[in-house]
Amino acid sequence: MEPLKEISSLACPLAMENVDTDQLIPARFMKESRSSGYGGFLLHDLRFNADGTPRDFILNHEPAQDAQILVARRNFGAGSSREAAVYALVDYGFRCVIAPSFGDIFASNAVNNGLLPALVSEQDAEKVLEALAGNPGQVTVDLTAQTIAFHGHEVGFEVNPTWKLKLLNGWDDIDLTRDRTPEIERFRRDYVKHYPWLNSGKE
């Protein structure tokens, strides 16, 4: 994955709570090949009418198509564990979602795909949404400092320390394990000293 340290981009306000994974990508699109990209399916049923015509929805407005940051209300990514919901966000171009709470499995899937779930208080989420005033606006997310800067204001956000380490380095779970190789080897040596029969006579 590409390391993520700072994102300075347009942010798209989605002033909704309880945006679940079925809204993020309706199940009927999950049979499509990932190789063709899932970005076009993101929030499909909110973006389009049944006949396929676009609705007056924030993601259908041209500036939003360049946004790498999405700002939402609480309980973002709740519902089923489908990783395709994260694929849709990433394939659309998002690198960060700012919200007061996330579905647990969604947040874990997000990190594994290079998408930062930036956890803020409800008050701070509303500050960012109010500053954007319903339109995409410039926001800077600094993962190292864990800050979000917007329109002359700054708020902090929380992120699991292990997730932060993975995102800063562009690591997946295998990379994270390799980073702990010295500790793993040291544990193995010490453990075998206490239980030498585990070596079965080998050095």
Cα torsion angle, 173, 79, 116, 8, sign:
positive
pLDDT one-digit tens code per residue, 124-154: 999 999 999 878 899 999 999 999 999 999 9
Q: Is the pLDDT of residue 201 over 70?
A: no
The separation between the first and the last C-alpha atoms of the chain, rounded to the nearest angstrom, is 38
C-beta contacts of 83-86 below 8 A and 24+ residues apart: 83/109, 83/113, 84/21, 84/25, 84/29, 84/30, 84/34, 84/38, 85/21, 85/24, 85/25, 85/109, 86/110, 86/112, 86/113, 86/115
> Taking the domain 6-171, which CATH number applies?
3.20.19.10
Output the pTM of the full model. Answer: 0.89
Q: Where are the domains of the chain?
A: 6-171, 172-203
Predicted pLDDT at 65: 87
